[in-house]
């Protein structure tokens, strides 16, 4: 294998590199002087052109190499891993979306479970210094104790999507124990920002309001979410990559309960700021940024939705010294500015 530029620095293998989070993470790591091998199936879950444009930006750098392939294709994944010889693996790929799982449940089994199994097999063979895996706040499911803490019970998933994410955590713990793979699972809380997914509320709301079309407001607008701006998420992931879990390295901060496993170099960490925002306040922020009023169609809660999400960020702060800090006002404004430029260009 020919030497890659930046080979003296950390080498990352990122699954889902053309996705929303994967794109931003890969770009940040490249800017930091690291080499990144990206792996992405470029599925049609949402506009493939958006994924292709993210990928094209990454490929402008000589410190990035891309592999097209599905997680279910173990050989394609192995080819990317052999090329990369990763120091760190960040597994972000998978089938996303709570509501989509009601219509196409089989894709969550093949992508999230079979695909993650293939990633774990790669990690077993490569023995990276750290394996990081994306989970979701959805795994808290029927838990009503808030804010959600890593030590809370997460045994009542209310969608198949959430069940697969919890299963991914359990699978990775088994591999961490059996094969001594240092592993961190992070639970995302409603990530948003420039280059975001068109199936997410912010993208749909901004697009519809701009066109004067009605927006669908579920739960009669009484829901709330702990929104996480993309730059805050990426900063958290980059810092967590250096917080390698070890069986003898618990968090020493007082009054912070560590999720470090007693039998494996494994932990789970919330990535959220602990500042829930009501859905109606979120819509009002969008209206203010656009200078337009929304036409709202009020609807009941959708099957699989939860009333609220609320992250306890204390473990994240103890491990990294960092907390997500971008206000919804500033984050939404950044998205609206990007959306306007993106629409004009494409």
> Which one of the listed residues 45, 64, 161, 229 is annotated catalytic?
161
Distance of CA 301 to the CA centre of its chain: 24
What Cα–Cα distance (Å) separates residue 324 from each residue in 194, 275, 290? 16, 9, 24
Q: Is 161 a catalytic residue?
A: yes
Smallest CA-to-CA distance from 88 within 134, 130, 27 is with: 130
Q: What per-residue string of b and e applies to 288-301 under the rule 16 or more CB within 10 Å gives b?
A: ebbeeebeeeeeee
Q: Which of 152, 190, 165 is nearest to 271 (CA)?
A: 190
User: Counting Cβ atoms within 10 Å, is residue 249 exposed (0-12), middle (13-18) or buried (19+)?
Assistant: middle
- The pair of structure tokens assigned to 272 is 């959220």
DSSP H or E segment with residue 346? none
Taking Cα atoms as reference points, which of 26, 51, 28 lies closest to residue 37?
A: 26
3-state helix, strand, coil in the chain (%, to 5): 45, 15, 40
First to last CA, the chain: 37
Is the distance from CB of 272 to CB of 324 less than 8 angstroms?
A: yes
Could you list the active site residues? 161
């Amino acid at each position: 294998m020919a030497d890659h530029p930046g080979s003296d620095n950390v080498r990352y293998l990122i699954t889902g590199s053309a996705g929303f989070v994967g794109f931003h993470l890969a770009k940040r790591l490249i800017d930091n002087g690291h080499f990144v091998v990206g792996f992405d199936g470029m599925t049609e879950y949402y506009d493939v052109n958006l994924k292709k444009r993210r990928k094209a930006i990454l490929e402008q750098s000589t410190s990035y190499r891309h592999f097209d392939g599905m997680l279910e294709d173990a050989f394609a994944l192995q080819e990317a891993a052999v090329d990369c010889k990763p120091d760190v693996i960040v597994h972000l790929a998978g089938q996303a979306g709570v509501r989509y799982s009601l219509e196409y449940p089989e894709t969550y089994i093949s992508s999230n479970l079979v695909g993650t199994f293939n990633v774990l097999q790669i990690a077993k063979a490569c023995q990276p210094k750290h394996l990081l895996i994306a989970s979701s706040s959805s795994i808290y499911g029927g838990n009503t104790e808030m804010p959600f803490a890593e030590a809370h019970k997460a045994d009542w998933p209310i969608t198949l999507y959430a069940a697969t994410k919890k299963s991914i955590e359990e699978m990775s713990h088994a591999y961490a124990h059996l094969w001594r793979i240092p592993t961190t699972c992070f639970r995302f809380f409603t990530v948003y920002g420039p280059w975001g997914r068109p199936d997410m509320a912010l993208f749909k709301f901004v697009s519809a309001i701009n066109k004067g079309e009605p927006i669908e407001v579920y739960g009669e607008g009484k829901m709330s979410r702990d929104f996480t701006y993309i730059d805050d998420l990426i900063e958290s992931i980059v810092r967590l990559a250096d917080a390698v879990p070890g069986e003898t390295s618990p968090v020493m901060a007082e009054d912070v309960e560590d999720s470090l496993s007693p039998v494996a170099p494994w932990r789970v960490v919330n990535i959220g700021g602990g500042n829930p925002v009501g859905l109606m306040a979120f819509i009002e922020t969008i209206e203010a940024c656009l200078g337009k009023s929304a036409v709202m169609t009020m609807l009941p809660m959708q099957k699989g939705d939860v009333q609220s999400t609320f992250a306890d960020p204390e473990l994240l702060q103890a491990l990294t010294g960092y907390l997500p800090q971008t206000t919804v006002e500033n984050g939404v404004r950044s998205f609206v500015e990007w959306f306007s430029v993106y629409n004009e260009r494409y």
